[in-house]
């Protein structure tokens, strides 16, 4: 069950349209390391997670990622909402526009549609938590790349917030991995799958 709260986790107020920036940032909506797949990854993994604290963390981070997806969509929406036909053509946004007009559609910056093949839900505590830690770092790298390409402070302020959250989530998943390993049999030196035992 989820409830909607009528606000963004961090406010987005962009004054200047920038369709080129929008075409880059949309990757964090539907790209391989984007917020939507991050949420789906954690929310999918939690059902078979044997440890309550870790299932709780997957639920709460999975929920926060939905709020991040909403922020990314708000950025893309505000960057493209008042575009003229000339601006659409000059910025290369026309290739997106022809299929989606100014609506949001989850895809990577290169045009590849969002695809569940970009994440794993493996049913193995160790495998899944390493996947999650890697996912947070990949998203952090993507935000670093965005910060090299985009300079408008109205945009980068929110991107920096999102980047910092990737680091916090990485830390929390690292703690979850430690908790999980502490709960495993001390003789389980190679950390075999406790979800089957």
Partner 1 sequence: MANCNCRQQLKDFLDEVSFAMDDVVLFLDTHPYNKEALECYQEYKNMREEALLKCKQEGMPMQVEDVQSVDDWTWALQPWPWKGGC
Residues making contact with partner 1 (CB under 8 A) = 3-14, 53-54, 56-57, 60-61, 64, 70, 73-74, 77-78, 168-169, 172, 175-176, 179
In 75-114, which positions are buried (b, 16+ CB within 10 angstroms) versus exposed (e)? bbebbbeebeeebbeebebeebbeeeebebebbbbeeeeb
Nearer to partner 1, 11 or 153 (CB): 11
Nearest to 75 by CA among 3, 139, 164, 156: 156
Residue 70: CB minimum distance to partner 1, A? 7
Q: Give the CA angle between residues 102, 116, 2 to the nearest 5°.
A: 75
Nearer to partner 1, 4 or 190 (CB): 4
106 Cβ neighbours under 8 A, 6+ residues apart: 29, 30, 34, 36, 113, 114
Q: What is the DSSP string of 121-132?
A: --S-HHHHHHHH
Residue 154: CB minimum distance to partner 1, A? 10
Nearer to partner 1, 8 or 191 (CB): 8
Nearer to partner 1, 81 or 89 (CB): 81
Residue 169: CB minimum distance to partner 1, A? 7
Nearer to partner 1, 32 or 106 (CB): 106
CA distances from 130 to 98, 118, 124 (A): 39, 15, 10
Residue 175: CB minimum distance to partner 1, A? 4
Q: From the CA atom positions of the chain, what is the Rg in Å?
A: 19
Residue 133: CB minimum distance to partner 1, A? 13
Residue 11: CB minimum distance to partner 1, A? 6
Nearer to partner 1, 3 or 186 (CB): 3
Containing 35, the helix (H) or strand (E) segment is helix 35-45
């Amino acid at each position: 069950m989820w409830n909607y709260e009528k606000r963004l986790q961090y406010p987005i107020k962009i004054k200047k349209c920038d369709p080129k920036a929008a075409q880059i940032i949309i990757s964090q909506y539907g790209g391989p390391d984007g917020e939507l797949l991050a949420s789906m990854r954690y929310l999918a993994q939690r059902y078979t997670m044997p440890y309550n604290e870790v299932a709780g963390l997957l639920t709460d981070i999975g929920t926060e990622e939905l709020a991040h997806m909403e922020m990314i969509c708000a950025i893309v929406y505000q960057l493209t909402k008042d575009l003229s036909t000339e601006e659409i053509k000059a910025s290369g946004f026309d290739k997106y526009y022809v299929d989606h007009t100014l609506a949001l559609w989850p895809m990577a910056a290169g045009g590849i549609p969002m695809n569940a093949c970009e994440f794993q839900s493996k049913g193995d505590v160790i495998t899944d938590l390493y996947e999650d830690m890697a996912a947070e770092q990949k998203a952090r790298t993507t935000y670093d790349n965005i910060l090299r390409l985009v300079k408008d402070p109205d945009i980068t302020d929110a991107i920096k917030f999102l980047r910092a959250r990737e680091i916090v989530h990485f830390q929390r998943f690292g703690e979850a991995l430690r908790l999980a390993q502490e709960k495993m049999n001390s003789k389980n030196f190679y950390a075999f799958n406790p979800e089957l035992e």
